[in-house]
Amino acid sequence: MEEININDFFQYFKKKIYIIVIILAVLLVALSVYNIFFKVPVYTANTTIILVKNEENQIIDGTTSNTINQSDLTLNQNLVSSYTKILKSHLVLQQVIDKLNLHYEVSELEQEINITSVDDTAILNIAITDEDAADATNIANTLVKVFEKEVSNIFNINNVTVLDEAELPENVSNDTFVRDVILVILISCFGGLGVIFVIYYFDDTLRNVEAIEDEVGLPLIAKIYKSPENTDLVVEKKPKSATSESIRNLRANLQFASVDSALKVLLITSTVPSEGKSFVSANLATSFAQAGKKVLLIDCDLRKGRQHEIFNIINKKGLSNLLVEDIKNYGDFIQKTEIKKLDVLPRGVVPPNPSELLSSKKIESLITKLRSVYDMVILDVTPSNGLSDPLILSKVADETLIVTSLNYTTKNDLKTVKKELENVNANIAGCVVNNIKFKKHTYGYYSYGYYGNEEEKK
């Protein structure tokens, strides 16, 4: 069984608390609809009787007595069970129906009668429930009268005395709305908590960065903090932001990781779309250029590449066009950007056979030529899960970087990509976790914002 991290679950619970709100809202609406349109108000009339000897003289051993002895009380207590059955008998109930001209069947009227006895006494409480308050009262009082008569006939004794006659009830007896609301709240809270726990237990998404190393077995290269700015080139437009700082941290970690062998060609992929692969590629290329390196960013996503949109350059001629022509003319397809020392080779027109183009010998020759021209070549490739493009291009790259997104990428997808890249002997530099939230501190600068909030989740 997977170990449950309480703090992790609490963070997950805060994000999923809307489930409890939805359950509560649905149940409250259902309860209100039921009470307004379906629930029939009923009234309960109560009467109480006691089983005691009447005031008529009884002859005991040749003498008369008006007192109640212990044997009388014991006898009456023992008769409680029998009298309860008589009260609900067909004999008694049919007479009540006939006397009051009720619309009930005997079995239906029996369901409306509730008889309880007070412990260790000969007292019976009789409650009659009906949609009409007057009917409930009449039924209760008539039932007792018929019962008295039948007990006298059956046992030849008069030991039934009415303590409290039924009075007309003023309030409905099934108004349980407040109680039901409390129950709905409790059910929503505990039921929702259970639902959230089940979802949490079976949720395979990356909820914390530690899972990358502990569960997937990949080194964590850097964490990229989510940018609040509405721009793709954060490193260029907002150099003091926490996002820019984390991109520079990624750049430094890649350089330190490749001390023994020069990192010239870096392939950047992801597991599935929308994890921020192109965003990381563009900003990392910009960061290397800002550090004084001559950088070329190649958009190898021949299906949905968008580097031309990020850098606002023309996409009529690009990598796909170059690979069907003479690669010696690569300079005609590469475009300069507004960022010093950074060039971009856009994807070009969408070809009918992207994988075939990328698996040709031309791409190997092209990368070999570009190694001698640029200090750093970054390949922005398609997501790995389900596509062979990253596997094909990994053989021309020095290192492969996998971009993931917190609370989006699944551990299973990441494990699959890792295995596929290892099967083709790709050099996996590690993972980048994108879209980590951060908070501003009182300094007012984003660059201070992330140092104390590295584990705050999306």
The helix (H) or strand (E) run that includes residue 63 is strand 63-65
Q: What pLDDT shows up at residue 82?
A: 85
Whether 147 and 255 share a structural domain: no
Please state the pTM of the whole predicted model: 0.69
In SS3 terms, 116-144 reads as EECCCCCEEEEEEEECCHHHHHHHHHHHH
In a domain, 456, yes or no: no
> Cα–Cα distance between 242 and 227 in angstroms, integer?
8
Does one domain contain both 287 and 301?
yes
Cα 394 from Cα 402, distance rounded (Å): 12
Q: 89 in a domain, yes or no?
A: yes
- Asked if the structure places residue 160 within a domain, the reply is yes
Question: CB count, 10 Å around CB of 442?
Answer: 6
73 shares a domain with 33: no
| pLDDT computed for residue 78 by the predictor | 64
Question: Do residues 375 and 295 make contact, with C-beta atoms less than 8 angstroms apart?
Answer: yes
Alpha carbons 157 and 54: distance in angstroms, whole number: 9
* Domain of 97, in residue numbers: 43-164
Neighbours of 215 (CB within 10 A): 14
User: Both 28 and 55 in a single domain?
Assistant: no
C-alpha dist (Å) from residue 6 to 9, 191, 406, 408: 5, 19, 18, 21
Residue at 453 is within a domain: no
409 and 435 share a domain? yes
Q: Are residues 155 and 181 in the same domain?
A: no
- 458 found inside a domain: no
**CATH number of the domain bearing residue 437:** 3.40.50.300
Same domain, 417 and 291: yes
Spell out a b/e string for 259-292, using b for 16 or more CB atoms within 10 Å of the CB, else e.
Answer: eeeebbbbbbbbbbeebbbbbbbbbbbbbbbbee
Print the SS3 string covering 270-294.
ECCCCCCHHHHHHHHHHHHHHCCCC
Q: Are residues 28 and 89 in the same domain?
A: no
Decide: helix, strand or coil at residue 104: coil
What's the number of domains the chain is made of?
Answer: 3
Residue 277 lies in a domain: yes
- pLDDT value of position 21: 96
- Looking up residue 52, the CATH number of its domain turns out to be 3.30.70.1130
Whole-number pLDDT of residue 80: 80
- The rounded distance, in Å, linking the Cα atoms of 347 and 12 is 39
What pLDDT does 67 receive?
47
Rg (alpha carbons) of the chain, rounded to whole number: 42
DSSP state of 205: B
Report the pLDDT value the prediction gives residue 330, as an integer from 0 to 100.
93
Task: Looking at the structure, tell me whether residues 116 and 243 fall in a common domain.
Answer: no
170 within a domain of the structure (yes/no) = no
pLDDT in tens, the chain (458 residues): 456 778 888 888 998 999 999 999 999 999 999 999 999 999 999 999 988 755 444 444 444 444 444 455 455 556 788 888 999 999 999 999 999 999 999 999 999 999 998 777 788 999 999 999 999 999 999 999 999 999 889 888 888 889 999 999 999 999 999 999 999 999 999 999 999 999 988 888 888 888 888 889 999 999 999 887 778 899 999 999 999 999 999 999 998 876 667 899 999 999 999 999 999 999 999 999 999 999 999 999 999 999 999 999 999 999 999 999 989 999 999 999 999 999 999 999 999 889 899 988 999 999 999 999 999 999 999 998 878 999 999 999 999 999 999 889 999 999 999 999 999 999 999 999 998 887 554 334 444 333 333 333 33
Unique residue bearing structure tokens 């997501």: 383
Q: What b/e string do you get for 396-408 counting C-beta neighbours within 10 Å, with b at 16 or more?
A: bbbbbbbbbbbbb
351 within some domain: yes
- C-alpha 307/C-alpha 180 separation (Å) is 58
Largest CA distance in the chain: 138
pLDDT at 62: 46
DSSP-assigned states of every residue in 350-381: PPS-HHHHHTSHHHHHHHHHHHHH-SEEEEE-
Same domain, 431 and 326: yes
The tokens of 203 are what?
């949720």
Say yes or no: 135 and 33 in one domain.
no
Cα separation, 334 vs 331, whole angstroms: 5
Q: Are residues 97 and 80 in the same domain?
A: yes
SS (H, E, C) 151-189: HHHHHCCCCEEEEECCCCCCCCCCCCHHHHHHHHHHHHH
DSSP letter for 241, please: S
CB 276 within 8 A of CB 458: no
